[in-house]
Amino acid sequence: MTTKMAIGAKDIFRNQHRLIRFIEQSIRLCSNQSLKAAQQQQQQQQQQHQLNKTQLDGDFNISKSLNSEHWNAVPEPVEHDPDVGQQFYGNQLMVRLASPQQLQPKPDRDEDLIFGKQFTDHMLKIYYHKSLGGWQRPEITPLENLVMHPAAKVLHYAVELFEGMKAYRGVDGKIRIFRPNMNMNRMNLAAKRSGLPTFEGKEFIKCLSRLISIDSEWVPHTQAASLYIRPTLIGIDPTLGVASSDSALLYAILSPVGSYFKSDSSGAVSLLADPSYTRAWPGGVGNRKMGSNYAPTINVQKKADAKGLQQVLWLYGETHDLTEVGTMNIFMFFINDKGEKELITPPLNGLILPGITRDSILALARQWGQFKVTEGTFNMPRVCELLNQGRLLELFGTGTACLVSPINRIHYMNQDLYIPTMEQEKPVHETIRTALTDIQYGKVPHPWAVVIE
């Protein structure tokens, strides 16, 4: 009897944060005024979704055919080097749950979440040791600090890389992740470039899915927020010297997040375009998600902040080619020289990250067939020309963190260029955002949205 009571008490303590959250939500909903407001908000959301759906079901519908060539594109698998050794598998996963004392404080309101400031109760860790045969058993543990030798390669030579993914709580209550196979492929390509061991992406997704399932109550109950997933791979060899890593740590942490960027009242961002700074160059690693690509951008971002601008527009070369916006890919919607509406984004030439959101937008736009879709180089003189001729319609950034972020101003060569993105009657970036969120939040069934069981 005593043993049963102890087990019961342990379960209560383990889930006490869920009970407290449930009680708080119940108390708020018991108020007639709060209930009425919640019902009105739900009705407004349904009406707005129906309006958006009507628009999409016209010229910009999401194909109901799951056999579309645009939907089923699968990245080529990454081949492991012969000396990587044994792989890990999802069925090897061990789980060590957090004690009541290890539970993390939960946010009061999902709508007030700040990006990257709070983390869930658990994390995923998988060690690699070449001397032990390769990858070790994956383990889910309470969120905890990492312990490593002060000579670890990650600390001296930036031998590390990461990914950015999200989990969404759908309108049906199910939790979904978006095109995770694309993230795994991109992560393995970066691992090869960094001299770090590669892994089986589908097995890591299984482990991630279990982690999300354990911390499922952290997935926000609103479409204004989501659960950010940060897989990371670091070299942890306790030796100095630039060389491939014989020991590594692959881990993932989760963070409930709201909006990534601070925008103005219209929801748009303004940019600093300074050609004296370069983010990436041919033959480099601008197309890989490595920490070494981001640290050098921080000081330039401070210069943008000082001018009252939200982000940096990265230019390249003597012609000032547009490459990326902060941590985002960039798209331009305009009327080309033939009088056609065209959506263009920079090509995958090694200077930009092959964004999953970018790839998804290209697939959607090509399936719609309502305007020309191009991957090609364009520069600031071209932007200025189109703007002066009234042919530049929209500029927007895209990425996992921000999804779609409209641009309304660029500070370039000591001049402010005002972009009419927010002045369009039916902006394409809004149509794209609606199409993507409908998939991510389960409003439209789609193979890109993978349900967490």
Q: What is the mean pLDDT of residues 245-269?
A: 86
pLDDT in tens, 60-92: 665 544 455 666 666 777 899 999 999 999 999
211-256 pLDDT, tens digit per residue, is 999 999 999 999 889 999 999 999 999 999 999 999 999 999 999 9
Tokens 């041919």 appear where? 282
Burial track 21-35 (b if 16+ CB lie within 10 A, e otherwise): eeeeeeeeeeeeeee
Residue 59: the pLDDT is: 61
**pLDDT score of 358 more than 80:** yes
The pTM assigned to this predicted structure is: 0.85
Taking 50 as the threshold, does the pLDDT of residue 33 lie above it? no
pLDDT digits 0-9 by tens, 390-431: 999 999 999 998 899 999 999 999 999 999 999 999 999 999
What DSSP element (H or E) covers 235?
A: strand 226-235
Share of the chain above pLDDT 90, in %: 76
Amino acid type, 134: G
Q: Tell me the pLDDT of the chain averaged across its residues.
A: 87
d(Cα 57, Cα 34) in Å, to the nearest integer?
34
- What are phi and psi for residue 12, nearest 5 degrees? -65, -45
The tens digit of pLDDT for each residue in 153-209 reads: 999 999 999 999 999 999 999 999 999 999 999 999 999 999 999 999 999 999 999
Residue 30 predicted with pLDDT over 80: no
- At 1 the pLDDT is 45
pLDDT band at 440 (very low <50, low <70, confident <90, very high): very high
CA distance 257 to 115: 5
All domains of the chain in start order, with CATH: 90-101+111-257 (3.30.470.10), 269-443 (3.20.10.10)
pLDDT tens digits along 87-123: 999 999 999 999 999 999 988 787 778 888 999 999 9
Going by pLDDT thresholds of 50, 70 and 90, the confidence category of residue 264 is low
451: confidence class by pLDDT, cuts 50, 70, 90:
very high
pLDDT number for residue 65: 45
Nearest to 63 by CA among 444, 357, 451, 361: 444
* Residue 263: pLDDT over 90: no
